[in-house]
């Protein structure tokens, strides 16, 4: 077969969606991944990368649009790097996420007929995020830009008119901070030159409490008016109970830094999930969709079937939210994480919720589990919520030696989830439940909860 070359235009029908969000079709059996392609599209596609087994391209001309295409409400959709499936019917988004979990468990997990239950979709598909990071940038003639990054172009920021992901109040704050920072003469940071002052505006919301936190991230420098800006934000927006100033003097383009000051109000906000309340500071971790996180944690409880005599361990505990959510339902909980700041937040959250039987430990998960094996300790229930890379092979080896009766595995990556489940299945566990849950509508990201039970 003569495969097409780079920059060649080919006409194909998009058959499906690949993990990562791209559509794909075939040309005489040759797979082509298409940015922005949706199932059912017939399009002329210009190829920008060709390999032996596949090519990648962009739509040059949409000949016949998919029946599942819808008009995206966001005016920035064509160039924003955010919600790339906003032009796809939400019911179809859910279907493909559910299918991708099932396919991963079949082809990577080696489970011929995986027990995948229907996806739990989101009740709110817009204005659902409780955290957004907006970037400052010095545009042409040093014009202050405050918005989001263009797709695939991290050093390019567009001027935001309105984002449909967080809240209307969040949009108002962005516009106020942009205009007021210009009036106060606070210079924006130039991403490529690494010059300037204002770098990020981070807005956090307690969706169930209504409380808001604003964090202004700057480079090094002494600008007294940053304090004035912070106070004005707090006084203008009644839901804002905390305004912080974080200093990041390094070139790393991240919304964290080496120094944090409170400019207005408290040093944190609170979010409520069910009967539990959690403290959120400017740089602490919390799942970014409170509505679906509540449903996720309820699902974890359902899968875990906790018993008052259970000894539970929560691996990759983060700020301890899952451990605390289940604490009153088991005998005791140990939460393990390698990030000291996360464990400090977990301890504060435990005191806030009177979770006396929670013990949070700063440790590398692999090393901690190795120690558990050496000491002969046992757990009845294990919760695993690892990063996208999944569990380290050494951690899986120790888990199979510890042999908890039940494992609830939470994952944001179907491929590594399926890989780890294959390993656990070979070691004596069976997968008896799995449900995808949509935490991020209009994106390809998938969250899934699985339960594995030890074969007797």
* 238-250 confidence digits (pLDDT tens): 999 999 999 998 8
Distance CA 360, CA 356 (A): 11
Tokens 């106020």 belong to: 176
Residues 452, 406: contact at Cβ < 8 Å? yes
CB-CB neighbours of 454 under 10 Å: 15
Q: How confident is the model at residue 404 (pLDDT cuts 50, 70, 90)?
A: very high
**What is the radius of gyration, based on Cα positions, of the chain?**
24
Tell me the CA distances in angstroms from 423 to 109, 400, 426, 430, one per residue in order: 8, 9, 5, 11
> Does 2 score more than 90 pLDDT?
no
Q: Percent of the chain at pLDDT above 70?
A: 100
Q: Is 191 exposed, middle or buried (0-12, 13-18, 19+ CB in 10 A)?
A: buried
pTM over 0.85: yes
Ranges of beta strands (E only) in 184-237 are 198-205, 212-218
Q: How confident is the model at residue 323 (pLDDT cuts 50, 70, 90)?
A: very high
Q: What residues does 157 pair with on adjacent strands? A: 149
pLDDT at 253: 81
Which residues, 6 or more positions from 70, have their beta carbon under 8 angstroms from its beta carbon?
A: 87, 88, 89
Phi-psi category of residue 275: left, alpha or beta, with phi > 0 → left and psi -120 to 50 → alpha: alpha
Distance CA 60, CA 43 (A): 7
Burial 94-117, CB ≥16 within 10 A → b, else e? bbbbbebbbbbbeebbebeebebe
pLDDT at 454: 96
Q: Identify the active-site residue in 74, 83, 391, 412.
A: 412
Distance CA 241, CA 79 (A): 33
The arithmetic mean of pLDDT across residues 420-433, rounded, is 97
DSSP state of 140: G
Q: Decide: helix, strand or coil at residue 376.
A: coil
pLDDT at 151: 85
pLDDT at 455: 93
Distance CA 276, CA 147 (A): 33
Distance CA 20, CA 343 (A): 32
Burial 193-220, CB ≥16 within 10 A → b, else e? eeebbbbbbbbbbbbbbebbbbbbbbbe
CB-CB neighbours of 438 under 10 Å: 24
Which residues, 6 or more positions from 290, have their beta carbon under 8 angstroms from its beta carbon?
A: 130, 206, 207, 208, 271, 273
pLDDT at 81: 84
Which helix (DSSP H) or strand (DSSP E) does residue 372 occupy?
helix 365-375
Q: Decide: helix, strand or coil at residue 294.
A: helix
Residues 244, 225: contact at Cβ < 8 Å? no
Of 456, 447, 410, 393, whose CA–CA distance to 429 is shortest?
A: 456
Of 446, 423, 453, whose CA–CA distance to 121 is shortest?
A: 446
Distance CA 165, CA 45 (A): 30
pLDDT at 186: 96
Strand 311-315 to strand 259-265: parallel, antiparallel, or no bridges (unpaired)? unpaired
Q: Percent of the chain at pLDDT above 90?
A: 87
Asked about 412 being catalytic, the answer comes back as yes
Tell me the CA distances in angstroms from 79 to 83, 131, 289, 349, one per residue in order: 10, 21, 24, 39
The arithmetic mean of pLDDT across residues 245-270, rounded, is 90
Mean pLDDT lowest for which of 141-145, 413-417, 427-431?
A: 141-145
All domains in the chain, ordered by first residue: 9-64 (2.40.50.140), 94-123+289-454 (3.40.50.150), 131-270 (2.40.50.1070)
Alpha helix (H) residue ranges in 167-224: 168-184
Q: How confident is the model at residue 1 (pLDDT cuts 50, 70, 90)?
A: low
The arithmetic mean of pLDDT across residues 346-374, rounded, is 95
pLDDT at 48: 95
pLDDT at 21: 87
> Could you tell me how far CA 19 lies from the centroid of its own chain?
15
> Does 212 score more than 80 pLDDT?
yes
Strand 212-218 to strand 9-13: parallel, antiparallel, or no bridges (unpaired)? unpaired
pLDDT at 389: 94
Residues 148, 133: contact at Cβ < 8 Å? no
Q: Is 254 exposed, middle or buried (0-12, 13-18, 19+ CB in 10 A)?
A: exposed
Q: Which two tokens stand for residue 177?
A: 């901070």
CA angle 192, 197, 199 (to 5 degrees): 65
pLDDT tens digits, one per residue of 106-163? 999 999 999 999 999 999 999 999 999 999 999 888 899 999 999 877 788 999 999 9
């Amino acid at each position: 077969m003569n495969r097409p070359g780079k920059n060649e235009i080919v006409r194909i029908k998009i058959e499906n969606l690949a993990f990562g969000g791209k559509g794909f079709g075939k040309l005489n059996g040759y797979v082509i991944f298409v940015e922005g392609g949706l199932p059912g599209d017939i399009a002329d596609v210009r190829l920008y990368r060709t390999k032996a087994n596949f090519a990648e391209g962009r739509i040059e001309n949409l000949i016949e649009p998919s029946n599942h295409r819808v008009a995206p409400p966001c005016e920035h959709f064509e160039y924003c790097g955010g919600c790339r499936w906003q032009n796809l019917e939400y019911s179809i988004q859910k279907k493909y996420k559910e299918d991708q979990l099932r396919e991963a468990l079949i082809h990577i997990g080696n489970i011929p007929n995986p027990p995948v239950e229907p996806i739990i979709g989101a009740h709110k598909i817009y204005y659902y995020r409780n955290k957004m990071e907006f970037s400052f940038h010095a545009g042409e003639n040093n014009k202050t830009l405050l918005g989001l990054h263009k797709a695939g172009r991290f050093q390019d920021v567009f001027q935001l008119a309105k984002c449909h992901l967080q809240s209307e109040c969040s949009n108002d704050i962005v516009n106020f901070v942009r205009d007021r920072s210009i009036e106060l003469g606070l210079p924006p940071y130039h991403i490529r030159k690494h010059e300037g002052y204002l770098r990020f505006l981070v807005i956090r919301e307690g969706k169930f409490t209504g409380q808001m936190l604003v964090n202004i991230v700057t480079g090094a420098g002494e600008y007294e008016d940053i304090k004035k800006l912070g106070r004005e934000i707090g006084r203008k927006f009644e839901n804002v109970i905390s305004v912080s100033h974080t200093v990041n003097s390094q070139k790393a383009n991240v919304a964290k830094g080496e120094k944090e000051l409170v400019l207005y109000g408290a040093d944190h906000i609170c979010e409520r999930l069910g009967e539990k309340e959690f403290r959120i500071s400017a740089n602490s971790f919390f799942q970014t969709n409170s509505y679906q996180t509540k449903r996720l944690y309820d699902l974890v409880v359902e899968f875990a079937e906790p018993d008052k005599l259970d000894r539970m361990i929560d691996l990759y505990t983060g700020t301890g939210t899952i451990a605390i959510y289940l604490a009153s339902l088991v005998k005791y909980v140990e939460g393990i994480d390698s990030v000291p700041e996360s464990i400090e937040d977990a301890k504060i959250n435990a005191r806030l919720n009177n979770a006396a039987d929670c013990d949070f430990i700063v440790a590398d998960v692999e090393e901690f589990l190795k120690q558990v094996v050496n000491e002969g300790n046992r757990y009845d229930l294990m919760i695993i919520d690892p990063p996208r890379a999944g569990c380290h092979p050494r951690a899986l080896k120790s888990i199979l030696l510890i042999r908890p009766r039940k494992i609830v595995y939470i994952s944001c990556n179907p491929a590594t989830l399926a890989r780890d489940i294959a390993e656990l299945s070979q070691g004596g566990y069976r997968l008896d439940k799995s449900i995808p849950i949509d935490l991020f509508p209009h994106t390809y990201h998938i969250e899934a909860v699985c339960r594995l039970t030890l074969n007797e």
